[in-house]
A and B are shown apart, each in its own frame.
Chain A
Amino acid sequence: MNWLSKSSAVFLMVVSLAAVFAPWVAPYSYETQNTLNTLAAPSFDHWMGADRLGRDLFSRLIYGARVSLFIGVSTTLLALLIGTVYGAISGYVGGKTDNVMMRFVDVVFALPDLLMIILVTVMMGRGVAGVFIALTLVSWVTVARLVRGEVLRIKEYTYVEAARALGAGHSRVLLREILPNILGLMVVTLTFRVPVAILAESTLSFIGLGIAPPFSSWGTLANEGWKAIKFYPHLILYPSLAIFLTILSFNFLGEGLRDYLDPKSRTRFGQRTG
C-alpha cells in the first residue's frame, strides 16, 4: 500500500482510540458548561475554543467521534451482513427467485434515500437508534447488488463445479467455496461504505434532523457552529474538518486495500488506473 493509505490507516486508528477512550483523552467533560468561556476563541486551554454554552469544543469533538464512528461502522456492518446474505442467496439460487429478489432491490433503489432516512429517523425519534435503522434500510441494497454479481460469476467457475461434483452441499459450497472469494470485495466495500454512512449521518444531523443534543455527533456540532458561522467560524471549522479528514482517510484506505487485494486493478496494461 502507498503512504497515503498507510497514513490514513494510522489517522483512523488514532481517531478510533480517542473515541473509545474519550473519558481519558478528552481534557474536559463534554457537558461541563463554563460561562466565562462562552464562545471563546481557540487558546492554549481550549485548543479549539468553546461553544455557546462555554463547553470545550475539543472534548465535544472527541465524544462526537464516538457517535459518528459508531453509526458509520455499525450501520455498514449490518448492511454488509444483510446485503451479503440477500445477494448471495439471490445470485446462487438464480432463476425466478433471483428475478423477484432483484426487483425488490430495484424498488428500494428508486426510493429517494435521504427522504426515507429523514422520515424513518423522525419516526424513531431522532436518536442513535433511529439514524441507525434508517441508514441500514437504504444501504444494504448496494451491497446486495455487488455480492449477487460476484456470486453469479464465481458459481460458474470450474472449481465450484468440482466441489459440487464431489458431493458438497449448497451451504458448504456457499460458505466454504464462494464466500472466501468475496471476502476481499467485502472488506473493500466496508471501507468504502463507512464514509458514506458517516456522511449521511452528519448531513442529517447538520440539517437538524439527526442526532439530537445533548448527545452530539460531528454533524450536530457542525449544525451548532453553522448558526454562528459569521462571527465564530471556529465552531464549524473543527467539526467539518473532522468529518472531512475521516471520510478522506476511509477513501484513501479503501483504495489502498482495493489495489492490495486485487492485483488486477493495480496494473492494467502496465499502468495504474483508477
Chain B
Amino acid sequence: MVIFFLKRVLHGVPVLIVVATLTFIIMRLVPGGPFDEEKKLPPEILANIQAKYHLDKPIAVQYLFYMKQLAQGDMGPSYKYIGRDVTDILADTFPVSITLGLLALLVVVGLGIPAGVWSAYRQNSAADRICVFLATLGISVPSFVFGTVLVWMISHKLHWLPPALWEGPRYMILPALALGAPFAGYIARLTRSAVLEVLASDYIRTARAKGLNESVVLLKHALKNSIYPIVSVIGPLTAGLVTGSFVIEFIFSIPGMGGFFITAVTNRDYPLIMGVTLVYAVLIVLANIVVDMVYMWLDPRVRV
C-alpha cells in the first residue's frame, strides 16, 4: 500500500512538470506584460523592474530559472502584490478554498448517496421519480445560477444567511450548497443505477430469503457492492469541485485562490498564475491517488 502510494506520487511528478511547462508557455503567449500600465513607465524604470524579475532574459532561461526555483519550493514574488511571495498568498488563500471544497464534497456525498439509495429502493414510486427529476435538475443547473438564486432568495429576500464574504460557519453554508448541489445530482443518479443493478442480483434475493431485514440488505449488502462506480467518479468529481470553486468564490466574494487567479490573469502576474495552477493540479493528482487507494482498500481484487 505504501509502495503503491509512493509509486503513484512519483508518477504524478512528470504530470505536474508538464502542467507547469504548458502553463508557462501559454502564459507567455498572452499579449501584454505585467508592467504595461495605463501610464507608460519611463523606459529606465521598466528596464530596472524587468531586470529585477529576470524578465529581460530569454524565455528559455526564465523557464529554467523558474523550474529550479520551484524545485526548491520557492514560487517567487508576486508582481502585483508588492512585497508578498506567491507562497505567502497561497498560504492565506489555500485553506479557504480547500475548506469550501471539502464542505461541498460533504454536500455531494451526504445528499447524493442517500438520495440515490432511497430512490433505487423505492424504484418507480413517486419519491423515486421526484428524486430522479431533482437530480436531473441539479445536473442541469450551472452552479452560478444556483448560487445567484440562493443569494437572492436566502440572503436578499429572507435575510437568513449572509450573501458574501467568509467570516465563520454561517458564511459557508450557501457557497458549499451552491458548489455541491450539481454534483450531488450526478452522484444521486449514479448511485441509483448502481444500486438498482445490484438489487436485481441473486445474492440479494438470497439475503432477503434468509429473512434479513431490509435495512441490512440495503445498506450492508447492496450499497457495499454498488459503491465502486461511485468511488471511481469521486476523483474526476473532486477535480470538478476544485475548478468549480472559482465561480462560487467570485459570486460570494470569498478570499480563496480562485479570485486571486482571476486578478492574476488579468494582471499578467506570472508567478501567481503559475502558483495557483500548480496547486490546483496537485490537488487533482492527489485526489485521484486517494480515490485509487480507497478503491484498492474496498476491492481486494484490484490489489497488485
Per-position 1/0 for A107-150, Cβ under 8 A of B:
10011111110111011010000000000000000000000000
Is A106's beta carbon under 8 Å from chain B?
yes
Tell me which of A112, A206, A273 has the highest count of chain B C-beta atoms within 10 A of its own C-beta.
A112
> Which residues of chain A come closer than 8 Å to B302, judged between CB atoms?
none
Partner of A119, one of B246, B265, B281: B265
Q: Knowing A122-B30, A123-B30 are in contact, say whether A271-B142 is a contact too (CB < 8 A).
A: no
Are A114 and B26 also in contact (CB < 8 A) when A119-B273, A203-B144, A244-B140 are? no
Bound Cα distance A273, B262 (Å): 41
Set B23, B193, B281: member contacting A273, Cβ < 8 A: B193
Task: Mark A231-270 against chain B: 1 for CB-CB distance below 8 A, else 0.
Answer: 0010010001001100110011000000000000000110
Contact A112 B265 (CB under 8 A): no
The listed residue (B139, B156, B243) touching A115 by CB distance below 8 A is B243
Contact of A248 among B19, B137, B197 (CB under 8 A): B137
For the complex, give the distance between the alpha carbons of A203 and B18 in Å.
26
Contact of B142 among A107, A113, A244 (CB under 8 A): A244
Q: What residues of A have a CB within 8 angstroms of the CB of B66 in the complex?
A: none
With both chains docked as a complex, state the minimum distance between the C-beta of A259 and any C-beta of chain B, in angstroms.
13
Cα separation A268 to B151 with both chains bound (whole Å): 42
A195 contacts chain B at the CB level, 8 A cutoff = yes
Please state if A119 and B23 are interface contacts (CB–CB under 8 Å): yes
Contact of B15 among A110, A119, A122, A209 (CB under 8 A): A110
Bound complex: CA A164 to CA B29 (Å) = 47
B218 to nearest A CB, angstroms? 16
Pick the contact of B196: A208, A209, A243, A273 (CB < 8 A): A273
Complex: how many Å from CA A21 to CA B22? Answer: 41
Q: In the assembled complex, which residues on chain A have CB atoms less than 8 Å from the CB atom of B247?
A: 203, 206-207
CA distance A203 to B148 in the complex (A): 12
Asked if residues A240 and B193 are in contact (CB atoms below 8 Å), the reply is no
Alpha-carbon distance A247/B156, docked complex (angstroms): 27
Q: Which residues of A contact B266 (CB under 8 A)?
A: 122, 209
A251 touches B261 (CB 8 A): no
Among residues 1 to 57 in chain B, which have CB atoms less than 8 Å away from a CB atom of chain A? 15, 18-19, 22-23, 26-27, 29-31
Which residues does chain A contribute within 8 Å of B152, judged by CB atoms?
229-230, 233, 236
Which residues of A lie under 8 Å from residue B31 when comparing CB positions?
A: 123, 125
Q: A223 CA to B143 CA in the complex, in Å?
A: 14
Interface range on chain B (Cβ under 8 Å from partner): 35 or more
Closest residue of chain A to B239, judged by CB? A112
Rounded to whole Å, the gap between the CB of A266 and the closest CB of chain B is 13
> What separation, in Å, do the CA atoms of A214 and B212 have in the docked complex?
66
Chain B residue nearest to A203 (CB atoms) is B247
CB of B75 within 8 Å of the partner chain: no
Nearest-neighbor residue (CB-CB) of A121 within chain B = B265
Interface size for chain A: under 10, 10 to 19, 20 to 34, or 35 or more residues?
A: 35 or more
The CA of A233 and the CA of B151, in the complex, are separated in Å by: 11
B250/A207 in contact, CB under 8 A: yes
Chain A residues with CB below 8 A from B273, complex form: 119
Asked whether any CB of chain B lies closer than 8 Å to the CB of A78, the reply is no
Task: Give, as a whole number of angstroms, the nearest-CB distance from A212 to chain B.
Answer: 12
- Cβ distance B66 to chain A, nearest Cβ, rounded Å: 16
B144-159 CB contact bits vs A (8 Å, 1 = yes)?
Answer: 1100110110001000
CA distance A77 to B145 in the complex (A): 26
- Structural contact, A107 and B156, CB atoms closer than 8 A: no
Closest chain-B Cβ to A1's Cβ sits at a distance in Å of: 15
A76 at the interface (CB under 8 A from B): no
Most buried by B among A110, A229, A268: A110
> Which A149-198 residues have a C-beta within 8 angstroms of B?
195
Contacts of A114 in B (CB 8 A): 243-244, 246
Residue B141 CB within 8 A of the other chain: yes
Cβ of B284 within 8 Å of any chain A Cβ, yes or no, is: yes
Assuming the contacts A199-B142, A247-B142, A271-B200, asked whether A111 and B276 have C-beta atoms less than 8 A apart, the reply is: no
Indicate if the CB atoms of A252 and B277 lie closer than 8 Å.
no
User: With an 8 A cutoff between CB atoms, is A220 at the interface?
Assistant: no
Tell me the smallest distance from the CB of A130 to a CB of chain B, in Å.
11
Contacts of A28 in B (CB 8 A): none
Asked if B178 is at the interface (CB within 8 A of a chain A CB), the reply is: no
A115 and B276 form a contact (CB under 8 A): yes
Please give me the residue from chain A that is nearest to B141 by CB atom: A244
28 contacts between A and B (CB under 8 A): A110-B15, A110-B18, A111-B19, A112-B284, A113-B243, A115-B243, A115-B261, A119-B23, A119-B26, A119-B30, A123-B31, A199-B142, A202-B144, A203-B143, A206-B142, A209-B262, A222-B144, A230-B156, A240-B145, A240-B149, A248-B136, A248-B137, A248-B140, A269-B197, A271-B196, A271-B200, A273-B193, A274-B189
Residues of B participating in the A interface, judged by any CB pair closer than 8 Å:
15, 18-19, 22-23, 26-27, 29-31, 123-124, 136-137, 139-145, 148-149, 151-152, 156, 189, 192-193, 196-197, 200, 239, 242-244, 246-247, 250-251, 261-262, 265-266, 273, 276-277, 280-281, 284-285
| Contacts A116-B23, A207-B246, A247-B140 supplied; 10 other A-B pairs, CB < 8 Å | A112-B239, A114-B243, A114-B246, A202-B142, A203-B143, A206-B142, A209-B265, A209-B266, A222-B144, A243-B142
